[in-house]
Chains A and B, each alone.
Chain A
Amino acid sequence: MSGEEEENAAELKIGDEFLKAKCLMNCEVSFILEHKYEQLRHMSEDPLNQVSQVFEKSLQYVKRFSRYKNPDAVRQVREILSRYQLTEFELCVLGNLCPETVEEAIAMVPSMKTKGRGLDEEAIEKMLNDLSLIKTFE
């Protein structure tokens, strides 16, 4: 790692390839994996035997930590968060952890407070309000 800056997600130092890569929220992964699992169920009698440990553990995890259960809500969450010039990584951290206050949101995604981002507390507050509305209507 000599010469390279040390990785730190709090400052968005996670490598350019990951900053640009598409990240997925737990709820989105949950839909992808459930769909895969359904496909396997149609093809074999013992689908659990067909999937890897990595798949099985991830499925259990995303089921437990998905904040939104309905596909429309998930789409709306991504849509709302994309209005705020967040990186893919920041967007998914917020969608996964669902902070309730501005203070909490900044603690979860400290990079939002970097200078020149144009994300003041008012904007963050509005974003959290919009997100909580989706949760209520789900």
Chain B
Amino acid sequence: MYLKVKLPWNVIIPAENLDQKGLILQRSIIIRLLDDFTCRKATKDLGYYLAVSSLERIGEGKVRQYSGDVLFPVVFNGVTFKLFRGEILEGVVHKVLKHGVFLRCGPVENVYLSHLKMPDYKYVPGENPVFMNDKLSKIGKDVSVRFIVIGTKWLEADREFQVLVSLEGDFLGPVS
């Protein structure tokens, strides 16, 4: 689910970028914030960081004692993407393996659907391998699939989520 969040943040402006002119300072704060935001990529609580939509306020700057850099507390609105257990979503298959498929869903690449979680589908090997059921419905590369999230795991080192999904449930499966 995409979420609209309001976030506090500390922006640090190096001493050499400080300027008497307020407008230029504001500009550096925004540029710095956008950079930091992009670098953060994701957090366990809020999910993936997509975009800053508006700046709510810039607080009073505080000079840091040793470096002379100035720290500005800011509050802004942004958009994030987080997957919840039990949520139903759609994604696109990008890799088909013997034991299951990987899907893309929003900014997440590691959404795994194991063959154990789609029991009526059988692996069909070939140049373009697919999973197919008795009704000839196919799950192959670039197919959109509707699934339910059964587990998520936050990987701190990669700042990334791993997601397990399933087709066990009504109205789940490939969508046209």
Asked whether A9 lies within 8 Å of B106 as measured between CB atoms, the reply is: no
Asked whether B171 lies within 8 Å of A36 as measured between CB atoms, the reply is: no
Q: For chains A and B in complex, what number of residue pairs have CB atoms within 8 angstroms?
A: 105
Asked whether A24 lies within 8 Å of B2 as measured between CB atoms, the reply is: yes
A10-B169 Cα distance, complex, nearest whole Å = 12
Asked whether A55 lies within 8 Å of B51 as measured between CB atoms, the reply is: yes
Asked whether B42 lies within 8 Å of A24 as measured between CB atoms, the reply is: no
Chain A: CB-nearest residue to B89: A96
Asked whether A9 lies within 8 Å of B53 as measured between CB atoms, the reply is: no
Query: Chain B residues with Cβ under 8 A from A55's Cβ?
Result: 38, 50-51, 107
Chain A: CB-nearest residue to B92: A64
The contact of A9 among B81, B144, B149, by CB within 8 Å, is B149
Q: Does B132 contact A (CB under 8 A)?
A: no
Q: Does A84 contact B (CB under 8 A)?
A: no
Query: Chain B residues with Cβ under 8 A from A29's Cβ?
Result: 2, 50, 79
Q: Does A138 contact B (CB under 8 A)?
A: no
Asked whether A61 lies within 8 Å of B106 as measured between CB atoms, the reply is: yes
Q: Quick one: given A36-B51, A64-B92, are A23 and B4 in contact (CB under 8 Å)?
A: yes
Asked whether A52 lies within 8 Å of B38 as measured between CB atoms, the reply is: yes
Asked whether B51 lies within 8 Å of A32 as measured between CB atoms, the reply is: yes
Instruction: Output the least CB separation between B81 and chain A (Å).
Output: 6
The contact of A107 among B3, B5, B85, B170, by CB within 8 Å, is B170
B-facing residues in A49-96 (Cβ within 8 Å): 52-55, 57-58, 61-62, 64-65, 89, 92-93, 96
A13-B170 Cα distance, complex, nearest whole Å = 20
Asked whether B144 lies within 8 Å of A11 as measured between CB atoms, the reply is: no
Query: Chain A residues with Cβ under 8 A from B84's Cβ?
Result: 7, 9, 14, 18
Q: Does B122 contact A (CB under 8 A)?
A: no
Q: Does A119 contact B (CB under 8 A)?
A: no
A32-B52 Cα distance, complex, nearest whole Å = 10
Q: Chain A interface (Cβ within 8 Å of chain B)? A: 6-11, 13-14, 18, 21-26, 28-29, 32-33, 36, 52-55, 57-58, 61-62, 64-65, 89, 92-93, 96-97, 99, 103-104, 107-108
Q: Chain B interface (Cβ within 8 Å of chain A)? A: 1-5, 38, 41-42, 48-51, 53, 79, 81-82, 84-90, 92, 104-107, 109, 144, 146, 148-149, 169-171
